[in-house]
């Protein structure tokens, strides 16, 4: 799984809510007060903020937000400044990362409502015009809706496929590409490989959803192509820092060599050009700073 978020701005609302729920709002030193709160009471207070399986979905309450000390800046800015471990890596996504999270916003029935939702829940630092442009880059649910490649099917509610595509791309899939582009500029000699998993294509509503690799690959519910080849590539990478060394699978090209993804399918693997949804990618690349949450 890949989780690359365009974050992070300072945000105090969650901490204030926890402080109040723990009974520490009137304390002169709220942190000291929280340290004296019994475990169960603190746990319940910490859980009063929105969770991932709800209306706020992937705008997580507990994100790594800059504090000037442990995390000096937003992760995207740190990567651009070269402040990360420059070691070989593999990064990739499920094809339909956003469908699981799109299940919780069934009240969104128009593109205007989607724009308002994203403006208020996610992108409060972006202008209405910017959010409108982002939503507008998903022109139709047949071409840009997730689960992808399913036409008019699987639209659980009027804006489900559009919302799912946006959440998946902004949180995982297209930000993965942006990450690869930046690391390729900052440290071009560090090899990287990337993939898209499509082995659950055809699963109603969800497609190849976020976390489905836990079932298909890591738990290996079936002796399928995904489990065999992905494990094999990963073993090779762990031992040799190259997924191609030590196995007889098809060559997995470095992402920098033509921007090719390996596509992990149900029965076989293939190559995929990493250029899909280019209009959305270009918008994200030009507006990173406004999309921190």
Residue ranges of E strands in the chain? 89-94, 192-197, 260-264, 269-273
Residue 211 sits at the vertex; the CA angle it makes with 185 and 118, to the nearest 5 degrees, is: 70
Do 284 and 6 meet the contact criterion of CB atoms below 8 Å apart? yes
Model pLDDT, residue 90:
98
Per-residue pLDDT of the chain (293 residues; tens, 9 = 90+): 333 344 433 356 778 899 999 999 999 999 999 999 999 999 999 999 988 889 999 998 888 888 888 889 999 999 999 999 999 999 999 999 999 999 999 999 999 999 999 999 999 899 999 999 999 999 999 999 999 999 999 999 999 999 999 999 999 999 999 999 999 999 999 999 999 999 999 999 999 999 999 988 988 767 789 899 999 999 999 999 999 999 999 999 999 999 999 999 999 999 999 999 999 999 999 999 999 88
Cis peptide leading into residue 147 (ω within 30°): yes
**Three-state secondary structure call for residue 218:** helix
| Cis amide linkage into residue 278, ω under 30° from 0 | no
Spatial separation of the C-alpha atoms in residues 112 and 109, rounded to whole Å: 8
What is the pLDDT, as a whole number, of residue 12?
65
Helix (H, G, I), strand (E, B) or coil at 81: coil
From the number of C-beta atoms within 10 Å of its C-beta (0-12, 13-18, 19+), residue 204 rates as: exposed
Q: How high is the pLDDT of residue 219?
A: 85
pLDDT, residue 14, reads 79
- Contact in structure between 293 and 121 (CB atoms under 8 Å): no
Which pLDDT score is estimated for 3? 38
- pLDDT value at residue 220: 74
pTM of the entire structure? 0.91
Predicted pLDDT of residue 13? 76
pLDDT at residue 2 in the model: 39
DSSP 200: T
Q: Which domains does the chain have, with CATH numbers?
A: 63-291 (3.40.50.1820)
């Amino acid at each position: 799984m890949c989780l690359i978020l365009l974050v992070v701005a300072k945000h105090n609302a969650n901490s204030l809510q926890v402080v109040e729920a723990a009974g520490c709002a009137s304390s002169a030193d709220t942190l000291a007060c929280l340290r004296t709160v019994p475990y169960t009471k603190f746990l319940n207070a910490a859980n009063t903020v929105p969770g991932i399986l709800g209306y706020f979905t992937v705008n997580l309450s507990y994100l790594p937000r800059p504090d000037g000390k442990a995390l000096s800046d937003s992760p995207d800015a740190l990567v651009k400044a070269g402040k990360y471990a420059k070691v070989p890596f593999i990064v990739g996504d499920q094809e339909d990362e956003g469908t699981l999270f799109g299940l919780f916003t069934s009240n969104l029935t128009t593109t205007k409502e989607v724009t308002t939702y994203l403006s208020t829940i996610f992108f409060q630092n972006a202008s209405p015009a910017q959010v409108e442009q982002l939503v507008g880059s998903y022109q139709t649910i047949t071409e840009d809706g997730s689960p992808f490649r399913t036409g008019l099917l699987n639209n659980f509610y009027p804006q489900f496929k559009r919302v799912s595509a946006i959440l998946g791309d902004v949180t995982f899939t297209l930000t993965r590409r942006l990450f690869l582009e930046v690391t390729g500029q900052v440290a071009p000699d560090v090899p990287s490989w990337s993939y898209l998993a499509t082995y659950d294509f055809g699963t109603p509503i969800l497609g190849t959803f976020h976390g489905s690799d836990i079932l298909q690959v890591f738990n290996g519910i079936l002796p399928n192509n995904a489990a065999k080849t992905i494990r094999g590539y990963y073993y090779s990478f762990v031992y040799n820092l190259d997924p191609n060394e030590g196995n007889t699978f098809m060559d997995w090209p470095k992402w920098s060599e033509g921007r090719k993804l390996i596509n992990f399918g149900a029965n076989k693997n293939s190559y995929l050009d990493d250029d899909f949804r280019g209009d959305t990618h270009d918008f994200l690349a030009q507006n990173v700073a406004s999309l921190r949450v």
